[in-house]
Amino acid sequence: MIRGGFLNTDQRVELERIVRRQSETHGVARRANALLLLDDGMSCTRVAKVLYLDDDTVRQWHKRYMSGGFDELERFDWKGRGGHLTASQEAELAEHLAGKVYRSTNEIRAHIRRTYGEWFCRSGCIKLMHRLGFEYKKPKGLPARADEADQRAFIEAYEKLKRHLPEDEVIYFVDAVHPEHQSRPAHGWVKKGEKVALRRTSGRKRLNIHGALCLETFDCPVMHVEKVDAESTIALFEKLEARNPRKARIHALMDNAPYHHARKVREWLERPGNRIKPVFLPGYAPNLNAIERLWGVMHERVTHNTFYDTFDDFAQAIESFFTQTIPKDWKEFRDTVTDNFRIISFQDFRVLE
């Protein structure tokens, strides 16, 4: 008796590549094999599993053979397209697809079957989509509302401030981030055929960090706090003043979070001798806060594809990013963390409702 599991991963990959190889003679033989197995009483699902196909492909082959015999089975696109649409049907389908985002080829194939009575296998549907000018991609997440004029005005004011900034003044971008103790799977290069996994943590504990970033010096003071609020905002401002004793004015560019506008913060800013000058970003415009890009680098360096067994280990890794990685490696990612701002415009996208 031959027991299963005698092939290693590389051997299986090699043999599956041969089984799935697309050649005309091999393709016709596979169809004939599938029809014989169906005639023996095997189900479409079972035939698909045995021949490493999907069951819709098997049904399509059966339909073609029953409608036109061997000539039809041999004639239609042996590379796997299966179904066929006229030029007008393809144009109509393209118009339909342009108005709706389907999440899978299964949904598209079902629509084609309902509308045109044609069966496409998965690979054939993918080829059809490419031929019609579509690609599989994820919609870009945008703020719920974004005013282009406000963004443009902010960028112009910021550029003017930067150009005419006196030597005794400095600009910081201010924001909060809340990294969660959870593994973050991310794309990466792995050996073909190898299955890669990342252990997930069961907890939902997170850090609360209120920080600031100066792009000129890459100074990045941060506060690890219990809660990001008016008190943490004031504490961060005090830290900025302490780190810049010779600066007459510290421009703090920040979003419109309620704690940045809190009465305690306003009162603190109105005190005699205050050197913090708040500059508020337009609403719904995180794209105009350079420190947001630093948070992205933090996740790439610390959380992506990395498992931390304990929350303390995770917290220490985050702390090391700010205390060691930034001072040592900031030149490696300064081209990513920049003020090369772009305006968010809904006119550049087809916005899904």
Q: Starting at the earlier edge strand, list the strands of the sheet with 276-280.
A: 222-224, 209-213, 169-177, 249-254, 276-280
Domain 148-348, CATH: 3.30.420.10
- Scan for tokens 């596979």, then name that residue: 30
> Which of 21-30, 211-220, 263-272 has the lowest average pLDDT?
21-30
Q: Which pLDDT band holds residue 11 (cuts at 50, 70, 90)?
A: low
pLDDT tens, position by position, 157-184: 999 999 999 999 999 999 999 999 988 8
pLDDT tens, position by position, 184-223: 888 777 777 888 888 888 768 999 999 999 999 999 999 9
Percent of the chain with pLDDT over 90: 46
- Strand, coil or helix: what is 40? coil
> Which phi and psi (to 5°) does residue 324 adopt?
-120, -50
Q: Which pLDDT score, from 0 to 100, does residue 323 have?
A: 95
User: What's the average model confidence in pLDDT over 336-349?
Assistant: 78
Give the type of residue at 223.
M
pLDDT tens, position by position, 131-160: 888 888 776 555 656 688 899 999 999 999
- 12, pLDDT greater than 80: no
pLDDT tens, position by position, 270-283: 999 999 999 999 98
Element (H, E) at 128: helix 122-131
Tally Cβ neighbours within 10 Å of residue 250.
Answer: 21
pLDDT tens, position by position, 69-124: 766 665 555 444 445 788 888 889 988 888 888 888 888 888 998 898 887 877 78
Contact 318, 302 (CB under 8 A): yes
CA torsion angle 76 80 82 83 (round to 10):
-120
C-alpha–C-alpha distance, residues 224 and 228, integer Å: 9
DSSP string, 52-82: T--HHHHHHHHHHHHHHHHHHHHHS-TTTT-
> Which phi and psi (to 5°) does residue 44 adopt?
-60, -40
Domain ranges for the chain: 9-131, 148-348
Tokens of 22: 């697309």
> Which of 17-26, 39-48, 285-294, 317-326 has the lowest average pLDDT?
17-26
C-alpha–C-alpha distance, residues 173 and 343, integer Å: 18
- 42, pLDDT greater than 60: yes
DSSP string, 117-182: -----HHHHHHHHHHTT----PPPP--S---HHHHHHHHHHHHHHHHT--TTEEEEEEEEE--BSS
- Strand, coil or helix: what is 222? strand
pTM: 0.64
Tokens of 231: 């008190």
> Which of 42-56, 256-270, 300-314 has the lowest average pLDDT?
42-56
122-131 helix and 87-98 helix, angle to the nearest 10 degrees: 80
